[in-house]
Amino acid sequence: MRHLPRIARRLSLSLAICATLLTADALANQPAPDVPLAMADGQHQLADYRGQVVYLDFWASWCKPCQRSFPWMNAMQNKYADRGFTVIAINVDTERELADAFLAAMPAEFPVAFDPQGNAPALYRVPGMPTSYLIDHTGQLRLAHQGFHVQKQAQYEQEIVALIEEMESSK
Amino acid sequence: MKRKLVYVSVIVALSQLGGCASLGVQPWERDLLAKDEMALGAEGVDLGLDDHIYFSKEATSGGRSFAGGGCGCN
Amino acid sequence: MQLSHKGSIAAALAGATCALLGQSQAHAETDSSVLKDWKFDTAILYYGETDRVSLAEGVVSATKTNSDDSIFNVKLVLDTLTGASANGAVAQPTVQTFSRPSGKDSYQVAAGDTPLDDTFHDTRVQVAASWMQPFADTWRGTAGFNVSREYDYMSLGVNGLLEKDLFQRNTTLSAGLSYQFDSIDPVGGKPTPLSSMMVPADDDYDDEFEGEDDDHGAKNGSDDKTTLDMLFGVTQVINRRMLMQFNYGLSIVDGYTTDPYKVLSVINTNGVTQDIVYENRPDSRTKHSFFWQTKYALDNGVVDVSYRYATDDWEIDSHTIDSRLRFNLSGNSYIQPHIRYYQQSAADFYQPYLNQSADLPMYASADYRVGEMTAYTVGLKYGRTLENGHEWAVRAEYYQQDPKNAGFEQPGVLADLDLYPSVKAVILQFNYHF
């Protein structure tokens, strides 16, 4: 395909944004789209985690609520990892140094993947930063939350526990 | 250069249309916009001090946001 | 090792987690700074005009961000002003004598000089606070108040702002309302509009003056004014690097807008002052302002340009262009040149003097600040972020006002005098953020 004139491309992007607005609700109750996970120790796939309850979090160093979510995600990871649960956090910073600086100040005790191209958030049609998805052990997307609200931590935890219990009772 | 000007002016014009014809970024593309220095009211203390000086030395003031009161004239 | 994964992925993850945990030890101390919820902005400013007013101002602004993203801000401003200010009278080829605002003393102005009243000395304290509350995901409400007090002036205000994000926060609409009540209690009382300024004689003025009792320069009481401001804005993200704001503002002032310390010279056909009278301004003013601002993120800096057009029923139209260009010198320092240009037309009641032969107008002011003028500011700011995350900055600027003759004649002795002298000022500022 020939290069579109810039303005046309710009317009099509606008229309693309519009299209996503019309379906602004985050994905739920469907198979979680598989995405590659580029981690510090190499390349993984989200599908590799099938069989675990996954809290998939999209975050960025520049996002203020993300700072508040990290201590809680660490706590969840430490509390439920041995029951087959994991947090996976996909960073969307375009500059890796900024993500690294954030992690230096706010260390993550769960797997972190880096997606500077924004492919994964585009696939998930992430409506805002942060957005988190709960994926059950069969790989189904079950819940999505936009933003991180400290007051709702107990509710988030209940949702995780419910999926863990569902997994445990199915065995 | 000329083409760039046209490009910029078209964007400016489009931005005025609002709504779905408007421009923007995806939620995960706000890294630059989220920087403190990109906030419209960045350097708020400087803007406040400037407002106070110009408010007392010129006939027009405000427009940007609400400034605190007081005369501090002359 | 708290994690228990299965198979090779688990091992790999454990390795990654260990690496991250290793980092956590080294940086545990900086943990708190990321989540720090109170931030302080402080500044001291010096503003000094050549031979005229100088101002020292200090600001402390404290901002607390809560876990629900609501923001509380409280700001304290203290300033002190001293020096001389143009009183509105025209220069004369002879020495002139004026009464001080108290009416109990006088000052003299040399031949050829613009009359400056050097009485001014004032201290102002201002406290402002606001609360911003996000709600229903895409809405924000802000409520605030401010109180300011100086020797002869008191100001109280409340304001509210409602903001709504649209289109994934790419567009923000805002509407705000502010109501301000100002009360002025002029030194020596409020002068009767366009009445003559009584000038005490050089000797034994005390006796003579206190015996006076007529409408000549009669001064009594205080007065007030109210200001209602409305502001409607649209903010639009253009692309990853650019955003724009457009505001329309309506301001309605009702009450005492006169400057009780400003006067006009009444001259004869030869330009010689015959009398000095107090100014008088209309008791209302309606102003419209249109403000446009754009910010553009460079790879190593920010371009910030704004333009404001304002027009009001005093016939003052003004144009303001303000631009700041931030260049990051490194990851932790920047320089920022600042250029501002301002231009205003004269109020319809502005005149540099009154003619003795003409009838007294209803409203008149010779205050150059409501006359035609241009002004510009050039400045440079340097800022640096310290190891501990604190930031400091210094700013030095030069500000010059060039009042213009809006088409008035300079008869007789005024022909050779400078009725529109420039005002030159320097601004020095130091900021500290922690």
Question: What are the residue ranges in chain C where pLDDT is below 70?
Answer: 1-35, 200-218
Question: Is residue C244 less than 8 Å (CB to CB) from chain B?
Answer: yes
Q: pTM of this prediction? A: 0.82
List of chain B residues whose C-beta atoms are within 8 Å of the C-beta of residue C431: 45-46
Which residues of chain A are at the C interface, by a Cβ-Cβ cutoff of 8 Å? 17, 20-21, 24, 39-42, 44, 48-49, 51, 64-65, 67-68, 77-78, 81-82, 86, 102-112, 127-128, 146-147, 149-151
Which letter does DSSP use for residue C67 in this model? T
In this prediction, residue B62 carries a pLDDT of 86
Out of C85, C314, C370, name the one closest to residue B74 (CB). C85
Q: Are residues C292 and C308 in the same domain?
A: yes
Q: Are residues C249 and C283 in the same domain?
A: yes
Coil/strand/helix, residue C212: coil
Out of C146, C235, C289, name the one closest to residue B63 (CB). C289
Q: Are residues C139 and C31 in the same domain?
A: no
Out of B23, B24, B27, name the one closest to residue A127 (CB). B27
Supply the mean pLDDT for chain A: 85
C3/A77 CB distance under 8 A: yes
In this prediction, residue C29 carries a pLDDT of 36
Whether the Cβ atoms of residue C319 and residue B63 lie closer than 8 Å to each other? no
Give chain A's domains with CATH numbers.
Answer: 26-169 (3.40.30.10)
In this prediction, residue B64 carries a pLDDT of 86
Q: Are residues C57 and C27 in the same domain?
A: no
Secondary structure (H, E, C), chain A? CCCCCHHHHHHHHHHHHHHHHHCCCCCCCEECCCCEEEECCEEEEHHHHCCCEEEEEEECCCCHHHHHHHHHHHHHHHHHHHHCEEEEEEECCCCHHHHHHHHHHCCCCCCEEECCCCHHHHHCCCCCCCEEEEECCCCEEEEEEECCCHHHHHHHHHHHHHHHHHHHHCC
Q: Are residues C16 and C156 in the same domain?
A: no
Summarised one tens digit per residue, pLDDT across range A101-132 is: 999 999 999 999 999 999 999 999 998 899 99
A82/C4 CB distance under 8 A: yes
Query: For residue A23, what pLDDT band results from cuts at 50, 70 and 90?
Result: very low
Out of A17, A41, A105, name the one closest to residue C33 (CB). A105
Coil/strand/helix, residue C217: coil
Angle between helix A96-105 and C7-27 (nearest 10) = 70
B12, B28, B32, best to mutate vs chain C, most C CBs in 10 Å: B32
Q: Are residues C277 and C315 in the same domain?
A: yes
B29/C306 CB distance under 8 A: no
List of chain C residues whose C-beta atoms are within 8 Å of the C-beta of residue A149: 67-68
C306/B18 CB distance under 8 A: no
Q: Tell me the CA end-to-end span of chain A in Å, nearest whole number.
A: 51
Distance, CA of C125 to CA of C382 (rounded, Å): 28
In this prediction, residue C64 carries a pLDDT of 93
ipTM: 0.86
In this prediction, residue C207 carries a pLDDT of 43
Q: Output the domain CATH number for residue C106.
A: 2.40.160.40
User: What is the chain B residue with the closest CA to A14?
Assistant: B23
Distance, CA of A83 to CA of C4 (rounded, Å): 8
In this prediction, residue A170 carries a pLDDT of 86
Q: Are residues C24 and C162 in the same domain?
A: no
Quote the percentage of chain A above a pLDDT of 70: 84
In this prediction, residue C275 carries a pLDDT of 94
Distance, CA of C309 to CA of A151 (rounded, Å): 45
User: What is the chain B residue with the closest CA to A98?
Assistant: B31
Secondary structure (H, E, C), C84-152? EEECCCCCCCCCEEEECCCCCCEEEECCCCCCEEEEEEEEEEEEEEEEEEEECCCEEEEEEEEEEEECC
User: What is the chain C residue with the closest CA to A40?
Assistant: C16
Residue A24 has pLDDT above 60, yes or no: no
Q: Are residues C323 and C182 in the same domain?
A: yes
Identity of the amino acid at A1: M
In this prediction, residue C53 carries a pLDDT of 93
Whether the Cβ atoms of residue C394 and residue C356 lie closer than 8 Å to each other? no
Number of structural domains chain C divides into: 2
Q: Are residues C94 and C12 in the same domain?
A: no
Quote the percentage of chain A above a pLDDT of 90: 70
Q: Are residues C112 and C23 in the same domain?
A: no
- The C-alpha angle with vertex C392 and arms to C296 and C328, in degrees rounded to 5, equals 35
C27, C65, C169, C328, best to mutate vs chain A, most A CBs in 10 Å: C27
Which helix (H) or strand (E) segment holds residue B51: the answer is helix B44-57
Q: Are residues C10 and C102 in the same domain?
A: no
Q: Give the residue numbers spanning the domain of C308.
A: 38-433
Question: What are the residue ranges in chain B where pLDDT is below 50?
Answer: 14, 17-21, 68-74
In this prediction, residue C33 carries a pLDDT of 46
Question: Is residue C326 less than 8 Å (CB to CB) from chain B?
Answer: yes
Summarised one tens digit per residue, pLDDT across range A32-46 is: 999 999 999 999 999
Question: Is residue B39 less than 8 Å (CB to CB) from chain A?
Answer: no
Q: What average pLDDT does the segment A48-56 reach?
A: 94
Q: Are residues C61 and C101 in the same domain?
A: yes
Which letter does DSSP use for residue C269 in this model? T
Strands A30-31 and A36-39, sheet pairing: unpaired
